[in-house]
Amino acid sequence: MALSSAPGKVYLFGEHAVVYGEPAVPCAIERRARVDVERRTDGKLRVHAEDLTLDGFTVEYGTATERPDVDVSQSLIRAAMGYVDGAIEQVRDVTGEADVGFDVTIESDIPLGAGLGSSAAVVVAAIDAATRELGYELEPDELAERAFRTEYEVQEGQASRADTFCSATGGAVRVEGENCRAIEAPDLPIVIGFDGGAGDTGKLVAGVRALREEYEFAADTVETIGNVVRNGEDALAAGDLEEVGRLMNFNHGLLSALGVSSRSLDAMVWAARDADAYGAKLTGAGGGGCIVALDPTEATETALKFTPGCEETFRAELAEEGVKRLE
């Protein structure tokens, strides 16, 4: 048996624009997915999920081409199972054991589809645990690459390397195209607000693409987000949290102009700003899910708790360590 965990993430800057080669800066946070893997001799997969914002369920099936027989919608099946299937295929590829089966148990305190990198964390932890169960140990860079390939396939070419690299390595990272590296960041007083929902990542990414193709100023907006990221890197390096916050506010406005915010996300962003947070913005694909704010005081947490549409608020420490090998 092997057990691994991997962290979720928030974007300080750059989501959506990163799809078009602009830089992005995500940070790993101490909300984790834990995946327990044990080899089985019959070649089957048995997957038990405790959380993932679904009711707990267990499925067992022979190959990745057979669909689990459970009484939930096919869209939820794809969300819960597609990443696990992809991760196991990567394990079979790297180990050369094409017919190996596993019992896989997933526990996660990262909301599914909320912009906190839940799928990346599950995939990173699953690949790490399953390869170790077979006697292999991947370096973080290869683990991130294998996890990216899984997300790229499941998301039909719309994934970036940001989520999986950040989850595998931890800390704050800079991603631009295929180039990923760790960057220095000060202690960040991260506050997260969650509206209880999830955006449709594919639809939101496609919407930005359509705007970018139709309007030159939309393409300019994407490029401007890249410029915000570059300024944000300088502010992080200088430890200037007030400037980081101002640039986060700017980034949210640009994302809103691209149509990926929502009423609930805007309401939480403005509640944080009215509480004198350094800055606040949506994180992830948008359309629903989470916002990230920077505030060393309790004011933003208090404000969000009384904001209509905010279902949960919590602090999140920067996860300095990425994947953790627990057993």
Q: Report, as residue numbers or ranges, the catalytic residues.
A: 163
Q: Which two tokens stand for residue 198?
A: 């999830």
In this structure, are strands 2-13 and 25-40 parallel, antiparallel, or unpaired?
antiparallel
Alpha-carbon torsion, ordered 122, 287, 174, 313, to 10 deg: -70
d(CA 106, CA 181): 28
Residue in 190, 47, 194, 203 with CA at minimum distance from that of residue 110 = 194
Contact status, residue 8 vs residue 121, Cβ threshold 8 Å: yes
Burial of 12 (0-12, 13-18, 19+ CB in 10 A): buried
Burial 29-56 (b: 16+ CB within 10 A, else e): bbbbbbbbbbeeeeeebbbebebbbeee
Alpha-carbon torsion, ordered 115, 201, 18, 184, to 10 deg: 10
